[in-house]
Structure 1
Amino acid sequence: MRRASSLIPTLGLALLVLALPVAASPPAVEGCSKPVYLTFDTGHMGVADLIAGVLQRQQVRATFFAADERTQVGDGSLGPHWAAWWRARADEGHAFASHTLDHSYWRADLPQADGRVLFRVRASAGAQAGRDQVWTAAQYCAAIDAASVRLQQHTGRAPLPLFRAPGGKTSPALLAAARQCGYLHVGWAPAGFLGDELPSDKYPNEALLNKALRDIRSGDVLMAHLGIWSRRDPWAPAVLEPLIVGLKARGFCFRTLREHPDYQGWIAQRLPAGK
């Protein structure tokens, strides 16, 4: 979760800097000619039940990228308080992947004389929150693994071998390290940045909804959160349900990243059938 005031001064900058491209015209998935891939990162979890209710009513399956972030109620978002919530989403058929356990932002590559690359990171949760740390590739992989392990404990299902770096911030060296330990990174499409992190006085819900309905295209990965501390007028569920209804009316259908053509082969190689 990123604070809009410091990291996203304008919507245009957010779309240019943070979004990672996905295929513009992916092959249709089975029974679906215009798929989009709705994803949620964790946050303060204050709207988690409301989002779950919308997805259940609309019969939409999403992919959740989880870190153990500070929440409004209970312990961290991957703590025992929220275990039943994650299990319920798994029973509904949603998919899950890592967001690093302590929501650790990549800040810089640190090339070494021996050819290795270390990474400067800063967690926004956990015991080291707010402090810069220097990690090896193995330590970064361990942070991805730790959230995946917690998700499997809560859901009883194997998470996808994917991850999303906090803030979408990566480097080629970081992506190579993650791939080496079994994870592909998933960003989002330019139109898939749904704007729930932006200040509501400048980006009201109605404007965010209209922009998304106008700009989203087939194959887009969409990204929102389970609660943003800095937004006074919550994006969900006020925008989420009309967005889903509006996209369905335009012929779109919703799939998890398990069915995304860019990741299907990778997932099939690393997860046993039926997991």
Structure 2
Amino acid sequence: MGIVAAGATVSALAATCDKPVYLTLDTGHMGIAPLVADVLRRQQVPVTFFAANEPTKEGDGSLGDHWAPWWKARAAEGHEFASHTFDHAYWRGDVKGSGAVRFKLRPSAGPQTGKESIVEAAAYCAEVRRSADRLQQITGRKPLPLFRAPGGKTSPALIAAARQCGYAHVGWSPAGFLGDELPSETFTNKALLDKALRTIRPGDILLAHLGIWSRKDPWAPADLEPLIVGLKERGMCFATLREHPDYRAWIAQHP
């Protein structure tokens, strides 16, 4: 049975989850995506995916046609989705002057990779919405009205602009940074797992990725399932951000 069977299992899990943690997964090179899906299905863990159209080890980008069946299968299992901006566009600073604040952006994907530009709030909103629209096109389900800025880099003005167009920003808890972006030469999988199991508390938002190019010893094959099992043994359970107390009201107000 999948995580959602007919869409009811996730709700049932949430209803009985009194010490929740919120596992979130950002896109990446997607090389470990099949393994991640197997672990989540085996452990009956619902997650929230934040998706951008990033370069991948195979296929035409993480939101391209090659990976569309993978996303559709995750939707059928009851996972939730949200935007990570379409071109994985990093905020580089606010630009203040006469009139409204504008933003410096530098995408790490798409035709403008590595090029810095200055955009107005409406253009930033369009960048966030583009990913959400693509997710809905692929999965047939409306993503959550949430987004995560690449690298978690934001400003109060950027967050306010996104909220004006219907998207609340989601970061992660300090203990929830699982370290899969760090160099494995100095941050071994065992050390990262031990730290996570020691420091994560109920209510924390956890962050990992579907593949990091720079890490030589990938995190997920070694740590994802042991982390899930270990947190369960500590009495914790898993829920999506739809159930998070900081976002429930926002989501209800932006159906």
**TM-score, normalised on structure 2?**
0.94
1:153 partner letter: Q
**TM-score, normalised on structure 1?**
0.87
2:101 is matched with 117
- Alpha-carbon offset, residue 237 of structure 1: 2.2
1:96 partner letter: F
> What does 1:103-142 align with in structure 2 at a 5 Å threshold?
103-114=88-99, 116-142=100-126
1:75 to 47, 50, 60: 60
Q: What do residues 224-263 of structure 1 show as CA deviations (whole Å, max 9, x unaligned)?
A: 0000000000001210000000000000000000000100
- Kindly indicate whether residue 250 of structure 2 is the aligned counterpart of residue 266 of structure 1: yes
Q: What do residues 131-174 of structure 1 show as CA deviations (whole Å, max 9, x unaligned)?
A: 00101000000000000000001111000000000000000000
Equivalent-residue separation in structure 2 for 1:267 and 1:244 (angstroms): 26
2:4 is matched with none
1:244 is matched with 228
2:45 to 57, 60, 67: 60
How many residues align? The count is 242
- Kindly indicate whether residue 135 of structure 2 is the aligned counterpart of residue 151 of structure 1: yes
2:75 is matched with 90
Extract unaligned runs of 5+ from structure 2: 1-13
In the TM superposition, structure 1's runs of 4+ consecutive aligned residues that sit over 3 Å from their partners are none
> What does 1:190-201 align with in structure 2 at a 5 Å threshold?
190-201=174-185
- Alpha-carbon offset, residue 198 of structure 1: 0.3
Q: What do residues 23-44 of structure 1 show as CA deviations (whole Å, max 9, x unaligned)?
A: xxxxxx6322210000000000
Q: Do the aligned residues in 2 keep the contact of 1:38 with 1:256 (CA within 8 Å)? A: yes
- Alpha-carbon offset, residue 269 of structure 1: 1.4
Equivalent-residue separation in structure 1 for 2:213 and 2:19 (angstroms): 33
1:238 partner SS:
helix
Percent identical among aligned pairs is 69
- Kindly indicate whether residue 165 of structure 2 is the aligned counterpart of residue 173 of structure 1: no
Equivalent-residue separation in structure 2 for 1:215 and 1:154 (angstroms): 36
1:80 partner SS:
coil
Equivalent-residue separation in structure 2 for 1:71 and 1:117 (angstroms): 34
2:167 to 183, 187, 208: 183
- Tell me the C-alpha RMSD between the 2 structures: 0.6
